[in-house]
Amino acid sequence: MKLNVIIASLMLTSLSCAATDSVQHWDYEGETKPENWGKLSPEFSTCENGKNQSPINIESALKTHHDNLKLMFKIGKQDIINNGHTIQINVNEGNTLEIDNEIFILQQFHFHTPSENTIKGKHFPMEAHFVYKNKNGDLTVVGLMFKKGKHNPELAKAWQQIPVEAGNTEKLNQSVDIKALLPNRLDFYRFSGSLTTPPCTEGVRWIILEQETSMSTEQIEKFHSIMHHDNNRPIQPLNGRIIID
C-alpha cells in the first residue's frame, strides 16, 4: 500500500514538473523562437491562432477625442529581476491608471530591445511596457519608446543593479521615479491586443505613448549584452483592428 502511494506521489511530481517546463519553454531564438510559440504547448495556441495579437505596426490611426491618461504614482520599494526573457521591475502598490471608468494597478514594468511595436514602420532601440491589472484581472499595458540620445538618469537607478544571471533578483537601492521616466506630454495611440509573450492572451488594452524619451547608446548596449539577444516578438497582423489616436 505504501509503495503504491509513493509511486503515485512520484507520478504527480513528474507531471507537475513537466507542466511547469512546458509553460516556461519558450525563447526568442532557435527552435523555441516566436514563430514556433504556438506549437510548443497547447497553452500557447493563441500565439498562433489568435486574431488580435501584439505587437503591431501603428499607422493610419483614427483621430478621435478621448480623455487624457489619468495616472497616479507612488514611490516605494522596487525589485529588479532578470527572468531570462527580459529585465523586469516589480513595484509597490499605489501606482494607478484610470481608463474606461476603471482603476488599474501597476504590477511591473519591463523592457524589449528593439521595440516590439513600431510607429509607421519604425522600430525604436527600446520599448518599456508598464503592465496594469484591475480587480477582475483585466490588463492594460502602457508602452513607452526610447530613442538613442542623452543618458537617462532615472533609468540608471535600475541599470546599475541589473542582475547579470537569469533568475536573480535585486532590491533597488534607489527606486525609479516612474513619473520622471515618462515624457511630459502623454498623447497616445490605443488598440486592443494581446500579451507579447506566451500564452499571448488577448483582450489586453494597449496604450502606446506618442512621445518617446531618451537613453544613451551605452545603456542600450548594457541591456543587450546581458540579454545576449534581441527580445522582441515580430509584428503581428492587424486583422481589421482600429487604432485610435
- CA distance linking residue 33 with residue 36, whole number of Å: 6
- CA distance linking residue 179 with residue 68, whole number of Å: 15
Confirm whether 85 is a catalytic residue: yes
- CA distance linking residue 37 with residue 46, whole number of Å: 9
Per annotation, catalytic residue among 25, 65, 85, 129:
85
- Which among 125, 88, 141, 110 has a CA at the least distance from the CA of 217? 125
- CA distance linking residue 10 with residue 2, whole number of Å: 12
- Largest Cα–Cα separation, the chain: 70
Which amino acid type is present at position 36?
N
**Residues catalogued as catalytic:** 85
